[in-house]
Amino acid sequence: MKKFLLPESGSFYKANLHCHSTYSDGRLTPEELKKIYKERGYSIIAYTDHDLMVSHEDLADEDFLPLTGYEMEITEPANGRTFDKLKTCHICLIALDPDNKKQVCWHRSKYLPAGAAAHRDEADFYEDEPDYERVYTPEKINEMIKIARDHGFFVTYNHPYWSLENYSDYTSYEGMNAMEIFNACYVVGYLDYNPQVYDDMLRTGHRIYCIAADDNHNGGTIDTKPYTSFKGATMIKADKLEYRTITEALEKGNFYATTGPEIKELWFEDDTVHIRCSEAESITLNSGIRQARIKWAEDGIYLTEASFKIAPDWKYIRLTVTDYRGKHANTNAYFTDELFDET
């Protein structure tokens, strides 16, 4: 039976799911961000300013969809140390419903950075809830993730390398929807292309997706271009550019992460996974056990498709398309108990 791992119908919409504006510590206004991202082919921005959720629904048009969200950070106690020495966990919360405009885990006097504090009166939160105190422990972080999920948010785990977090930290977190397999702080020296971290999560039982995002603040330039913009994208396949249709696609995992290459089709049939893509130098399959496969371009003729036979005991599979520039497209993980389920 043929199973489409990316939907057979619909269109791909290019999204930046981690973005900062003048509403926190970004240099560009939400309107300016819309302009430059539309010019580069993006259809979606999740505005995820630090600790402040403000809807920018007025920016929506037939070719552009703003998603409502915010980023929360939970940092270990300083104990006399500067911030660059501290572990911190950052998660983005994206509202699944456009009418969901209330923040969770709100504190009335803490956690707002300077830019966000200037817009504090625009925030909406649950007035009957007490101030939420953040504590850097797995238990408290998992509580925050659960609260967010229970209140209708899509939760992503962000840039583990920049955050100074390691295997024992991130594998203890539970309940997020996705992690950033790529965060554009990679281009300024931090090693936040994280396929191994994704495998760590998968191999410790986390059934989560992976995204690529810019995390752009637009505070510097390389060759006159904003250096953390337009580096990573999540390509979401959906029937239309409508808020709930797009967030339903996120919930279902109907997307892939990319820093350049395109994945055009992805399906499973009998015991074989098939992929069609833009020109690639290699296509790799990784799994949950010590089984991997790779196909290489030969004689200067780039790959545009590949097929790999897999087995039910491989636990999961995920594919990576790498182009001649070394840029990657990463599929989500697909679990073999579901792939081989004929019911």
Q: Where are the domains of the chain?
A: 10-259, 261-343
pLDDT at res. 260 = 98
Q: Which residues pair with 66 in a beta bridge?
A: 45
The answer as to CATH 3.20.20.140 being correct for domain 10-259 is yes
Residue type at 193? Answer: Y
277-323 pLDDT, tens digit per residue, is 999 999 999 999 999 999 999 988 999 999 999 999 999 999 999 99
Q: Is 110 helix (H, G, I), strand (E, B) or coil?
A: coil
Specify the range with the lowest mean pLDDT, choosing from 52-66, 184-198, 221-235. 221-235
pLDDT at res. 114 = 81
Q: What does pLDDT average to over the chain? A: 96
What's the topology of domain 261-343? Immunoglobulin-like (2.60.40)
Over range 108-118, report the average pLDDT: 91
**What's the rounded Cα separation, in Å, for the pair 232 and 144?**
26
152-171 pLDDT, tens digit per residue, is 999 999 999 999 999 999 99
Laid out side by side, the sheet with 272-280 consists of: 3-4, 263-269, 272-280, 303-309
Q: Is residue 226 scored above 70 in pLDDT?
A: no
202-220 pLDDT, tens digit per residue, is 999 999 999 999 999 987 6
- The answer to whether 336 and 315 are in contact (CB under 8 A) is yes
pLDDT at res. 299 = 86
Over range 108-116, report the average pLDDT: 91
Identify the H or E element spanning 272. Answer: strand 272-280
Contacts of 233 (CB under 8 A, 6+ apart): 14, 15, 16, 42, 212, 213, 257, 258, 259
Is the overall model pTM greater than 0.95, yes or no? yes
Over range 113-135, report the average pLDDT: 94
pLDDT at res. 1 = 85
In this prediction, residue 225 has a pLDDT band, given cuts at 50, 70 and 90, of low
Tokens encoding 98: 């456009």
